[in-house]
Chains A and B, each alone.
Chain A
């Protein structure tokens, strides 16, 4: 159990997808103007990363590894991610049309989110079993969501304050992101994974 706990802390905080691995920066800057939209996007991405990681683990173990098709990994994973996003969209539409009205707008954005592909490729490098890879994907995406919500909260506060004209907009956003990254560096050394 301690192994799993360390894996979760390592994936979510120590090696955070956004602030340490610099993945998913587009949505990090684009969808964090409000906390609610950040939560919506974070939850949708978390679901898609976890589901696609499960499928990609199966594809890796059943196809790519046995038949030595490693050179097709990126293409195969992109296909799986696109399929997972479509699956999620169909499921949400079926489960609740009302929720699809609210949350459906975030789903197409996930297909092109490099964090999803990045996490799946990291799983292969880590040579993990099914539960480890699922936990790693879930924890990584929770770390992504946490940073999105934190950053959205900061941007909401910045919007209510006066910012010098030269720094207004993306510049102050990037400065804030760098300070947030420095804060996350405090987690370094907590786990070696």
Chain B
């Protein structure tokens, strides 16, 4: 059923320099300091179409000093010539998201379960099982921290700059004459 035209990959499916596929997202440059451009990922409060076109409520959080936004900031190379307020497309390798998810959530869940079952077998009581599960969860979170530290040191988790994003003109609107 597939035709040559239809087999074109979707827009958010670009290979990186190593030829591997990237998961893309939008970010906005919020500061330039220390020879680096600092960017914050954009949330998508509106529809995906408006988001990719840079319309509607996108970009209203520029410079938002909230701790949550600050925690999401990441550095981009300073030699790209990026300016504050500029929208960019960033990406991480396709398997990075899976590795991150399994490390942050999978490992603590496995240790939680092991701790819970061990507590149940040793204590034969719900309270001991709960205690074991909490202990297992703590061990798992510690393990996740160590592994993520190793991955971060290798630069695996940091998003990379892919290209500049489309910037809508000031008078553009997401509302069409069709409503």
| Chain A residues within 8 Å of B, Cβ to Cβ | 34, 36-37, 39-40, 42-44, 46-47, 50-51, 54, 57-58, 61, 91-93, 95-105, 129-131, 134-135, 138, 159-162
Contacts and interface: CB of A to CB of B under 8 A. Distances in A.
Contacts of A51: 137
Given A43-B105, A46-B105, A131-B116, A104 B141 contact: no
Q: Which 5 A-B pairs have the closest CB atoms?
A: A96-B148, A98-B157, A43-B101, A47-B105, A130-B126
Interface residues of B, number: 48
A161 B6 contact: yes
Given A50-B109, A161-B1, A36 B126 contact: no
B71 A36 contact: no
Nearest to A108: B43
A102 B101 CA distance: 9
Interface string B4-47: 00110110100000000001000000000000000001010000
A35 to B, nearest CB: 8
Contacts of B71: 93, 97, 100-101, 104
A174 B175 CA distance: 27
B145 interface: yes
Contacts of B109: 46-47, 50, 138
16 contacts: A36-B97, A43-B102, A46-B109, A47-B105, A47-B108, A47-B109, A98-B74, A99-B148, A99-B157, A102-B92, A130-B133, A131-B126, A134-B129, A134-B133, A159-B10, A161-B1
Interface of A (DSSP majority class): helix
Interface of B (DSSP majority class): helix
A138 B112 CA distance: 11
Given A47-B105, A61-B126, 10 more contacts: A39-B97, A50-B112, A54-B133, A58-B130, A96-B148, A97-B71, A98-B151, A131-B126, A138-B109, A162-B3
A61 B133 CA distance: 17
B116 A130 contact: yes
Contacts of A43: 101-102, 104-106
A29 to B, nearest CB: 13
Contacts of A161: 1-2, 6
Contacts of B126: 61, 129-131
Interface in B126-174: 126, 129-130, 133, 137, 141, 144-145, 148-149, 151-152, 157-159
A109 B120 CA distance: 33
A96 B144 contact: yes
